[in-house]
Amino acid sequence: MVRSSEARFVGHRVSTGIQTSDGVDFKPRELDRDATFYVAGHRGLVGSAIVRRLEAGGFNRVVGRASSELDLKDRGAVFDYFAAEKPAYVALAAAKVGGILANNTYPVDFLSDNLRIQLNVMDAAREQGVERMIFLGSSCIYPKYAEQPIREDSLLTGHLEPTNDAYAIAKIAGIMQVQAVRRQYGLPWISAMPTNLYGPNDNFSPKGSHVLPALIRRYDEAAREEADSVTNWGTGNPRREFLHVDDLADAVLYLMEHYDGPSQVNVGTGSDVTIREIAETIGHVVGFEGATEWDTSKPDGTPQKLLDVSYLAEQGWTAQISLEEGLRRTVEWYREHRDELRE
């Protein structure tokens, strides 16, 4: 249990122990299982999965603090925490996250909070000389009309999706900060950009959740209430890629032990489905027998968002959990915990 307390890449290369173009002299290797590993956001969807993976992998000093104990927006508190724990490794999974509604309604919050969290954690980690940091962003960093599947070098080549541009800008800034630290301080930090995630400890709130957990909650409630129909936002035509968070956690450890380079690395499954298809699948899994209607007055968001994950696959890592299996696990978890979930 966590203690509370290839060529298409611009400038990319996998380190061979020779100093890279961005000043980093480092060869990826197995991480020390006895060193302190801080997971920022250890109770969230991503962070909790990383904790599970680290503990299963034999890490003995996985640390984290709940937001009630350590506000990552409080710079002084973050610096004090790093000075006390002196972690060797950091996974920065803490973030203010939400779906289309939340991002579109509160862009200031998503920009300001995420920038402060990232700056505080990375600056404190740099001060303590943290050897390995992985910064986790989001596929929304890529342009709305990027060529599909989206390659890593699509970053900053077009306009962002306006409903979540503030959050995307914050995450892009995080990537830039990792690259700046590599150049200026020679620390072998890296970034990973996961696709749409789901799994245990997700946010199932009607106002703050992403599409998949929102659909799980909506269809589960409709099934229990024996409702005649469910209404979803948009047309159902956009295509999305979904990755189980336990697969992401496995990729995080893999990257920290096998990758060194300034470019962010895409993490996903390499396949996608329409929102309509995922809604139908969820309805079937939860036992909903009614009709599904679509409110086309509501925004669809980005028409397609499929990551090119060929680089990571070439390095030896691919996702293992099928969408059907992942959905079944997630629905089971939701039903076990729905009475205690935040509204």
Q: What is the pLDDT of residues 44-57, one digit of tens each?
A: 999 999 999 999 99
pLDDT in tens, 248-306: 999 999 999 999 999 999 999 999 999 999 999 999 999 999 999 999 999 887 788 89
**Of these residues, 142, 167, 198, 219, which one is catalytic?**
167
Give domain limits for the chain.
3-198+245-270+306-321
187 CB-contact burial (10 Å; exposed 0-12 / middle 13-18 / buried 19+): buried
Q: In the annotation, is 38 catalytic?
A: no
pLDDT for res 20: 45
CA distances from 124 to 1, 61, 80, 139 (A): 24, 19, 8, 26
287 in a known ligand binding site? no
Q: Identify the residue whose tokens are 């890529």.
A: 142
Strands 190-194, 304-305: pairing is: unpaired
pLDDT for res 6: 36
24 band by pLDDT with thresholds 50, 70 and 90: low
Return mean pLDDT, the chain: 91
139 in a known ligand binding site? yes
208 band by pLDDT with thresholds 50, 70 and 90: low
218 in a known ligand binding site? yes
Mean pLDDT (whole number) for 181-198: 96
Please give the CATH topology (third level) of the domain spanning 3-198+245-270+306-321: Rossmann fold (3.40.50)
248 in a known ligand binding site? no
pLDDT for res 16: 31
* pLDDT of residue 11 exceeding 60: no
* pLDDT of residue 225 exceeding 90: yes
64 in a known ligand binding site? no
Which of 333, 135, 149 shows the shortest CA–CA distance to 239? 149
104 band by pLDDT with thresholds 50, 70 and 90: confident
pLDDT for res 343: 60
